[in-house]
């Protein structure tokens, strides 16, 4: 057994994970919310107006972090699906399936905010260029994974089948990311670089990066939340789950 599986087995004991995730959860949601509010404030109020786009550019502070998250969540899901398929680790199955709805939510946000930005900038809500199309395909991939996962009765089998589909869909990730360089499109190329010179003013960059950080933290909170529920569902017959259920029942009346 290699280090990775050992680690997963240790931490991946369901009751342990449930408890740890429960401890982490409020912090993830709390810090995510806090950073997000700060980022929104500084993006909407403190950051200067763009000389070209005027105030419309402020959509960047929600569009770009959401778009990044749509890619990150898919990568996270696929990585977990891979681990789940190769090493049959229950926790990875759960994490993969838990990240699908969150990723879909971010993809949806990226699409809608992109469209809302496109109308004033390009004069149209939607065009069929490579980046927009591939992002739409990404949403469909997420929905396919969610749909397949929901359609199969046996939870573990469902997670494996849907994880398999997620892995097939990974080819779309580089297409989304590099579409602006591979094809000439309406959509803007890379402007933000973590390393090397950035093409964007620092006063605009830092709220953006802050929001990106906030969405990452929020993402993990949301995934942990869903993973905990999936764990309860999956381990419904175990004693520790019964205890959780009865405690909750006593508390909730």
Partner 1 sequence: MKPGGTAGACAALVRRDLTLVWRRRGDALNPILFALMVVALFPLALGPEPEQLRRIAAGIVFVALLLAGLLALDTLFRSDYEDGSLEQLVLSPHPLALLLACKIAVHWLTTALPLIAVAPLLGEMLHLPVAVRGVLLLALLLATPLLSLLGAVCVALTVGMHRSGMLLALLVLPLYVPVLIFGAGACNAAQAGLPFLAPLLWLAAALVLALVLAPLACAAALRISIS
Partner 2 sequence: MHEITDSDHRPALLQAIGLGFARNDEPIFGPLDFALHAGEVVLMEGDNGAGKTTLLRVLSGLLAPTSGEIRLHGAPLRLADLSPQVALLSHQGGLKHDLTALENLRFAAGLHGQRKGISPHSALAAVGLDGYGEVLVRQLSAGQKKRVALARVLLAPVGLWLLDEPYANLDRGGIELVNRLLERHAHDGGAALITSHGAYAYTSGTPRRIALRAQAATGAVR
Partner 3 sequence: MAEFITMGGYAFYVWASIGVFVGVLALDALAPLAQRRRVLADIRGRLQRRAAREQREHGGSP
Ligand X SMILES: Nc1ncnc2c1ncn2[C@@H]1O[C@H](COP(=O)(O)OP(=O)(O)OP(=O)(O)O)[C@@H](O)[C@H]1O
Rounded Cα–Cα distance for residues 140 and 212 (Å):
23
Q: Does 239 bind ligand X (CB under 6 A)?
A: no
- Look at residue 168 and give the partner it binds from ligand X, partner 3, partner 2, none, a contact being a CB closer than 5 to 8 Å depending on partner kind: none
Stretch that binds partner 3, among 8-16, 88-96, 99-107, 143-151 (CB under 8 A): 99-107
Residue with smaller CB distance to partner 1, 21 or 71: 71
Among 190, 203, 236, 243, binds ligand HEM (CB under 6 A): 190
Q: Does 45 bind partner 3 (CB under 8 A)?
A: yes
Among 156, 165, 177, 209, binds partner 2 (CB under 8 A): 156
Which residues make beta-bridge pairs with 135? none
Residue with smaller CB distance to partner 2, 177 or 238: 238
- Look at residue 68 and give the partner it binds from ligand X, partner 1, ligand HEM, none, a contact being a CB closer than 5 to 8 Å depending on partner kind: ligand HEM
Among 120, 147, 174, 189, binds partner 3 (CB under 8 A): 120
Shortest reach from residue 236's CB to ligand X, in Å? 14
C-alpha distances (whole Å) from 211 to each of 32, 79, 105, 186, 219 are 9, 24, 16, 25, 12
Which contacts qualify for 46-54: CB closer than 8 Å, 24 or more apart?
A: 46/203, 46/207, 47/203, 47/204, 47/207, 48/201, 48/203, 48/204, 50/204, 53/121
Query: Buried b / exposed e across 101-128, counting CB within 10 Å, b at 16+?
Result: bbbbbbbebbbebbeebbeebeeeeeee
Residue with smaller CB distance to partner 1, 25 or 186: 186
Task: Identify the DSSP state of 50.
Answer: B
Residue with smaller CB distance to partner 2, 123 or 239: 239
Q: Does 207 bind partner 1 (CB under 8 A)?
A: no
End-to-end CA distance of the chain: 45
């Amino acid at each position: 057994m290699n280090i990775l599986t050992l680690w997963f087995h240790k931490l991946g004991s369901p009751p342990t994970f449930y408890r740890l995730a429960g401890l982490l959860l409020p912090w993830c949601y709390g810090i995510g919310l806090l950073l997000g509010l700060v980022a929104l404030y500084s993006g909407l109020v403190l950051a200067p107006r763009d000389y070209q786009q005027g105030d419309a550019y402020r959509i960047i502070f929600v569009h770009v972090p959401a778009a990044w998250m749509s890619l990150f969540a898919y990568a996270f899901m696929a990585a977990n699906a891979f681990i789940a398929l190769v090493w049959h680790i229950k926790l990875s199955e759960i994490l993969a399936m838990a990240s699908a709805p969150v990723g879909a939510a971010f993809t949806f946000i990226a699409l809608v905010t992109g469209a809302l930005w496109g109308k004033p900038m390009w004069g149209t809500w939607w065009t069929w260029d490579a980046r927009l199309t591939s992002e739409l395909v990404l949403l469909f991939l997420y929905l396919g994974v969610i749909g397949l996962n929901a359609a199969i009765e046996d939870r573990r089998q469902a997670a494996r089948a849907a994880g398999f589909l997620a892995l097939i869909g990974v080819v779309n990730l580089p297409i989304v990311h590099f579409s602006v360089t591979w094809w000439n499109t309406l959509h803007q190329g890379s402007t933000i670089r973590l390393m090397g010179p950035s093409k964007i003013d620092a006063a605009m960059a830092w709220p953006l990066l802050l929001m990106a950080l906030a969405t990452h933290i929020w993402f993990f909170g949301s995934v942990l939340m869903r993973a905990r529920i999936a764990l309860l569902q999956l381990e419904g017959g175990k004693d520790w789950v019964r205890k959780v259920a009865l405690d909750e029942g006593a508390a909730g009346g």
